């Protein structure tokens, strides 16, 4: 098990910047864009979420984690950073090479004034890409 004090972490501004830069880089075919993985439950995701986040609830994470790509950076997020920290440690312990916890979670994301969506997800919203 990875030491909880050694889990790679980024703040919400850095996570947002990486997601934005990754989208631009992907358009230019330079590098794979980071993927924001929300490990909260579906009802929490419906209340508020970061645009483009994929939903993989912690309650099903052990069963579904193999669906996550290993060839692109993963940014893990939850409400406050605790559950996503657990998911980050789990993935690193299982061989995922580029994973970081988004410190402060969606609470910090909202406080920072970063873009959010709320309400029932659109069809396909929250699903893993392709």
- Write down the catalytic residue from 39, 68, 78, 87: 78
Helix ranges, 1-130 (H):
12-27, 42-47, 61-64, 82-93, 105-111
Distance of alpha carbon 100 from alpha carbon 42, whole angstroms: 22
| Whether 3 is catalytic | no
Half-sphere exposure (CA, 13 Å, Cβ side) for 81? 18
Contact 124, 118 (CB under 8 A): no
Which residues are known to be catalytic?
78
């Amino acid at each position: 098990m990875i030491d909880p004090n050694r889990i790679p972490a980024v703040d919400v501004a850095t996570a947002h910047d990486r997601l934005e830069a990754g989208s631009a880089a992907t358009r230019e075919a330079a590098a794979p864009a980071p993927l924001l993985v929300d490990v909260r439950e579906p009802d929490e995701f419906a209340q508020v979420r970061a645009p483009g986040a994929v939903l993989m609830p912690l309650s099903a994470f052990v069963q579904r984690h193999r669906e996550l790509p290993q060839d692109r950076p993963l940014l893990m997020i939850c409400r406050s950073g605790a559950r996503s920290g657990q998911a980050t440690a789990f993935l690193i312990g299982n061989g995922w090479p580029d994973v970081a916890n988004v410190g402060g979670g969606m609470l910090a994301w909202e406080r920072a004034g970063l873009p959010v969506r709320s309400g029932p997800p659109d069809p396909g919203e929250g699903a893993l890409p392709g």
